[in-house]
Chain A
Amino acid sequence: MIFAVLIPLICALFVPLLSRFKQKVHTGIFVVFIPLGIFLYFLRFIGNDFSPVLQTYSWIPSLHINFDFYLDGLSLLFVLLISGIGTLVVFYSIFYLHISEKLGHFYVYLLMFMSAMLGVVLSDNVFVLYTFWELTSISSFLLIGYWHHRERSRYGAQKSMLITVFGGLSMLGGLVFLSVITGTTSIRSMIDQVDIIMSNEYLPLILVFILIGAFTKSAQFPFHIWLPDAMEAPTPVSAYLHSATMVKAGIYLVARFSPIFALYEWFFIIVSLIGITTLVWASFMAVRQTDLKGILAFSTVSQLGMIMAMLGFGTEAAVFAAVFHILNHATFKGSLFMIAGIIDHETGTRDIRKLGGLLTFMPMSATLALFGTFSMAGVPLPFLNGFYSKELFFKSTTLLNENSNSFAVFLSDAIPYLAVFGSIFTFVYSMYLFFGVFTGPKKLDLLPKKPHEAPIGMLLSPIVLVLGVIIIGLFPNLVNGSLLTHAANAINQAAGYESVSYWHGFEAPFIMSLVVVGLGIILFLTMKRWTRIYNVIPGKLSFNKVYNRLISSIDVISNRITNSYMTGSLKLYMSIILAVIIVFSFVIMFTTGGFNNISFNDLAEISVVDVSVVLIMVLAAICTIFVNNKLALIIITGIVGFGISILFVIFRAPDLALTQLVVETVSMALFLLAYYHLPELQRRNETIGDTLTNLFLALGTGTLITMVGIAAHSSDWFNTISDYFVETSYKLGGGSNIVNVILVDMRGLDTLFEIAVLGIAALAIYGLIKVRNKKEAE
C-alpha cells in the first residue's frame, strides 16, 4: 500500500522532465495512468467479504511514528473516490489546459495532492495523518494560486491556506492530547480506549480542537468562506480538490473519530448544529451567486454540511446515508464542475447573467447538466442517485437518538424543519443553474466567444460521472453490500446493510421531498421578486468582512510593533539584548537558588603584589570611560592588557603570559597606526537618562558576571576533567608542555580552525585597505 501512496509523489519527480515534450505530447497523457493504476489496484478489494488490511512500515519508531496503513471500508471508499475521480479529472484537464500553460507545475502539484490525500485516508498513525493533512493544504494552496498573476487567485490561495492551516494546527493540538492520554499514536488503539478518553477532563477541549480541524477543511460554517474564493483555481482542480476529495477530508476525520466521540452528547450537538447550519446558510447563499462556479462552491459547502450533520446524528440510518451521499455527491458535483468548466471554456464566461439559451448550441453538455442538477436537487425520479440519498437524509432526521440534554432535544426537534428549509434552496439553485444557463433568451452579444459544443474528449469525464449518477439511480443497491456497508461499519459498528428502494411508502421522508419540490418550484418561478432579501441578509454581516479586517489588522499591528523597536540604532539593539540577559539571568538565578551556596573555603592566598596589580587594572579600566584623548585612551587600555599578562605570570600560565605580551604589543602598534586616521574623541553629550541606562546595563552585566563566577566557583557538582590531560599529555601527545599538547594534539582541529579564522581576518583587512588605496589612486 505504501507504493500506492507514494507513487504519485515519486512520479511527480519526472513530470518536469516529461513536460519538456509538451509540444508533442500533452503531459496529462502520461499522468493519467497513475491514478488509473491506483484505482485498479484498490478496485479488487471491493467485495462482500472485505476485511480490513493493515501494513506497517517503520519510520521513526522511537517516537511511535510509523507508516501504519490501514485499509478499512471507509478508507477504501475514499481511496476509490480519490483515484477514480482523479483519473477522470486528469483526463479532463488534458483538454481543459492548453499546452501553453505551465503543465509541469500543474501536474506536480496535482500528484503531490493525490499522494497527500491517499496518505490522509490510509494512515492509522495520527501524526502521519497530520503530516499528510497539511500536505493537502499546501498542494491546495499551490493549485488555487496556479494562475498566480491574477490577484484573486493569490487572495484565494492565501485565504484557504490561512484557514485550513489554522484548523490543521488546532487538530494537531487535539491529536497530541489524545496520544498523551491514551499513550498510543494509533487511531485504532485510541478507539479501543474509549473509556479512558471519555472520562478525561480535557474531553471537551479535545473535541473542539479536532472539530475545528475538520470544520475548516470541510468549509463548515463559519469557516466556509475560503471555498468560494478557492474557485479561482483551474476547473479540474475545483472539481477534484474542492468538491470531490480534499474538502471531504474533514468529513473523513469526523467519521474516523466518530467511534471515540459518538457517546458524547456534545459531539451530536456541535456536529449536527454546525452541519445543519452550514446546509441552510450555504444553500441560501448559493442562490445569490452569479458565477457558475460560485453557485457550485456554495452548493458544495451546503452538501458537505448535510453529510457532516448526518455524521453528527450518528444513528445507523444516518451513517449509512452519509456514506451513500459521499459517493453520490462526488458523482453529480464532479460532473457539474466539469460542465461549468466546459461552459467557461466554450463561451469565455462563467457569469450566469450573460449566459442563456445554450441548449441548442451545447446539447450534450445540457443533457449532462440536466442529470447532474436534477440529481443534486433531489428530484424524485428513479434514475437519479441524489434523490435516494436525500430521501435517506430526511429519513435519518426523523429517527434521531433520544437525548437527555434539553438543548439537544430542542435541536432534534428543529432538525427536520431545517433540513427541509435548506433543501428547498438547494432545489432553487439547482434549477437556477440549469435553466439559467441552458434555456431562456440567447445573449450571444454578451459572450466573449461564439458558443459551440465541447470536443468529445472533454465531455468523456462528465459522461462517465453522469453514467455513475444514473447507474446508482437505477440500481441503488449495486455497491451497498460490497462497499458502503463496510464503510458505514467503520464509522458505526451497528450500521448494517441497508436496502435502498425508490418507493417505500407514503411516509415522512416522501412528504418532505414533496414539500421541497413544491415550494422549490414556487420559489424558483418567483425568484426575481424575493432576491432583494440578500441586500438585507447578510449585508454587512458577512464573514468575509471579518476575515479581511482580521488579516489587514494583523499586518498593521505587526508592522507597528516591529517598527517600534527596529529603529536602525545598533546601540538600542545592544541595550535590549543586554537588558534581557541581565533580567532573565538574575531572575532565574534567584528563583532557582543559584546564589545560595557561596563558600569561602578553598581559596588561594592573597599577596600584596597581586592586589596592587589588580588595583592598577581597576583604575585603568575605569579611566577608559572618562579619558577624552584618544592617545591616552589607547595607552590606558594597554595598561589593562599588560596587567593581564602579569596576572598570567602570577597564576603560573607562562604560555598565556608570553602570548598576551606579544599580542598586546602588536595590538598597541595597530591601535597607534589607526590612531592617526581616526577622529579625535568628543565629549559625551548624552542626556542623563542615557547615562543612567548605560550605567545600569554596565553595572548589571558586571555584577552578573562576578556573581555567576563566584557561584560557579563555589559549586562542587562536577569533577575536573583536567587530570586526563596531565596524565596522557606525554603518553598520547609526546610533549611535556601540557597546554601545547592540548592545543595541537587533543584539540588540533580547533586550532586549525582558529588559524583559518585569523587567515580570513587577515584577508579581510588586506582587502579593506587595498580597496581604499585603489579608490584613492583613481
Chain B
Amino acid sequence: MEYIILILAGILFATAIYNILQKQLLRIIIGTVLLSHGAHLVILTMGKLKRGQPPILDDSVITYTDPLPQALILTSIVISFGITSLLLVLAYRTAKENNTDNMEEMRGEANE
C-alpha cells in the first residue's frame, strides 16, 4: 500500500510541476495546491500506514498509528491554505491591474 501511495504522490508532483510551468496564473495556483497534496502524502507514508488505531489514547488500545507525521501535516495543511488564498487574491489583483493573467506578458520595468 505504501508504494501505491508513493506512486500517487509522484503523479501528483508530476502534474503539479507541469501545471506550475504553465503561463496562466490559475494553473500555477492549482499546481501549488497539488504540490502540497503530494507532499502531505509523502510525509504520511514515511510514518508507515495502517499500523494500529488512530492516535487517541485509550486503555484498550495497544498500538497507535504514528502521530508525528500527522502533526506535521496538520500544520502544513493550514499553511498551504494560507498560501493558496494569498496567491488567489494576488492573481485576482494582478489580472485586474494588468488585464492579463499570462506570466510571460507580465514583465517588470527594465533594470533601473
* Chain A positions near chain B (C-beta within 8 angstroms): 568-571, 574-575, 578, 600, 602-606, 610-611, 614, 617-618, 621-622, 624-625, 630, 633-634, 637, 640-641, 644, 647-648, 650-656, 659-660, 663, 666-667, 670-671, 674, 677-679, 681-682, 684, 694-695, 697-699, 701-703, 705-706, 709-710, 712-713, 720-722, 725-726, 729-730, 736-739, 742-743, 747, 750-751, 754, 757-758, 761-762, 764-765, 768-769, 771-772
Contacts and interface: CB of A to CB of B under 8 A. Distances in A.
Contacts of A647: 5, 41
Given A641-B33, A663-B78, A722-B66, A768 B90 contact: yes
Contacts of A634: 30
Given A653-B70, A737-B57, A768-B93, 9 more contacts: A611-B4, A624-B15, A625-B19, A633-B27, A651-B65, A656-B44, A702-B10, A713-B48, A765-B85
B82 A758 contact: yes
Given A604-B1, A698-B17, A747 B49 contact: no
Contact of A694 (B2, B9, B21, B101): B21
A694 B19 CA distance: 9
A699 B16 CA distance: 10
Contacts of B82: 757-758, 761-762
A684 B49 contact: no
A670 to B, nearest CB: 5
Contacts of B54: 652-654
A730 B57 contact: yes
Given A605-B1, A625-B19, A674-B88, A713 B14 contact: no
Nearest to A651: B49
Contact of B1 (A606, A705, A738): A606
Nearest to B84: A667
User: Max chain B CB contacts within 10 Å: which of A633, A659, A703, A722?
Assistant: A722
Contacts of A709: 6, 9-10, 42, 45-46
A617 B37 CA distance: 11
29 contacts: A602-B48, A614-B4, A614-B5, A617-B8, A617-B12, A621-B11, A624-B15, A624-B19, A652-B55, A656-B77, A667-B85, A677-B95, A678-B26, A678-B91, A698-B21, A706-B6, A713-B3, A720-B47, A722-B68, A730-B57, A736-B58, A737-B57, A738-B56, A739-B55, A750-B75, A751-B75, A754-B75, A761-B86, A769-B89
A737 B89 contact: no
A503 to B, nearest CB: 72
A702 B1 contact: no
Contacts of A765: 85-86, 89
User: Max chain A CB contacts within 10 Å: which of B21, B42, B52, B92?
Assistant: B21
Given A604-B51, A644-B41, A738-B64, A681 B73 contact: no
B112 interface: no
Given A667-B84, A729-B57, A678 B25 contact: yes
Nearest to B42: A709
Q: Which 4 A-B pairs have the closest CB atoms?
A: A702-B14, A706-B10, A736-B57, A698-B18
A308 B89 CA distance: 70
A742 B73 CA distance: 12
Nearest to B43: A709
Contacts of B13: 698, 701-702, 705
B71 to A, nearest CB: 4
Contacts of B46: 709, 712-713
A87 B105 CA distance: 65
A437 B47 CA distance: 88
B70 A739 contact: yes
A742 B74 CA distance: 11
Nearest to B47: A722
A44 B11 CA distance: 80
Contacts of A678: 25-26, 91-92, 95, 101
Nearest to A754: B75
B4 A606 contact: yes
